Amino acid sequence: MTASPKTAIILGTGLGQLASEITDTTEIPYKDIPNFPVSTVEGHAGKLIFGKLGGKDIMAMEGRFHFYEGYSMKEVTFPVRVMYELGIKTLFVSNAAGGMNPEFHIGDLMIITDHLNLFPEHPLRGKNIPTGPRFPDMHEPYDHELIAMADQIAEEKGITLRHGVYAGVQGPTFETPAEYRMFRIMGGDAVGMSTVPEVIVARHCGIRVFGVSIITDLGGFDNPVEVSHEEVQQAAATAQPKMTTIMREIIARS
């Protein structure tokens, strides 16, 4: 069992492949961890994996908790609190998201440079947990140095990366054409139903964050198209080797 990883990874919908690259693993199902919620959505296995990736000790969360599943924000972000207590210093988050930037294509990898918190409840609502201040700074939610490393690695490996703003929404409905248009006007490049609560809590704990969205569908505001969960999972699965490479290399080099 790995003693003290400094790096954690949250694997999003259809993005479990990275888990298979972790060696020397010890797996702990969420159901065996006191107070841990249990994941319900298809495509999320629900376990913590401790092991090695890129030559470093890491822990990975395969399966995350979404607000739309009915969990409270405290439950959604509980695993990040656990990571903090375990001594995690850097968090890698991934998700599947709908592309709204007209230059994006299905299968693109978007490095998250910033986010819009559009959830109806804030994850830090309530008595302040003193890992950080009552009014936390959010001027750099996603670490600039890690983004620069990702760009460098992508260039070396011939991987095309997009940069963009992730709009985090409650779901579980995918967006109407008017909603995609609204989130685009608000400054979003991609929209999804996760990540933002975990990132806010990580930052409140002083954990550095690197985030990646896989663009699994495109907001069809001019030409509305149907979106399904199966399609999202499939597009994520196809694009995930690129994501795995970027994350593994950042971990190996940092």
In the complex, the residues that contact ligand HPA under the rule CB under 6 A are: 96-98, 174-175, 191-193, 216-217, 227, 232
CA-angle at 197, arms to 193 and 203, nearest 5° = 140
Q: What is the DSSP string of 43-91?
A: T---EEEEEEETTEEEEEEES---GGGT--HHHHHHHHHHHHHHT--EE
Nearer to ligand HPA, 108 or 175 (CB): 175
Tokens encoding 146 = 């890690």
Dihedrals φ, ψ of 6, to 5°? -105, -5
Residue nearest to ligand HPA as judged by C-beta position: 98
Closest contact distance (angstroms) between CB of 79 and ligand HPA is 20
Closest contact distance (angstroms) between CB of 93 and ligand HPA is 14
Nearer to ligand HPA, 225 or 252 (CB): 225
Nearer to ligand HPA, 18 or 191 (CB): 191
Closest contact distance (angstroms) between CB of 115 and ligand HPA is 13
Nearer to ligand HPA, 15 or 53 (CB): 15
Q: How many CB atoms lie within 10 A of CB 221?
A: 18
Closest contact distance (angstroms) between CB of 60 and ligand HPA is 20
Closest contact distance (angstroms) between CB of 156 and ligand HPA is 29
Taking CA atoms, 87 is separated from 21, 57, 80, 90, 189, in Å, by 23, 12, 11, 9, 32
Nearer to ligand HPA, 36 or 166 (CB): 166
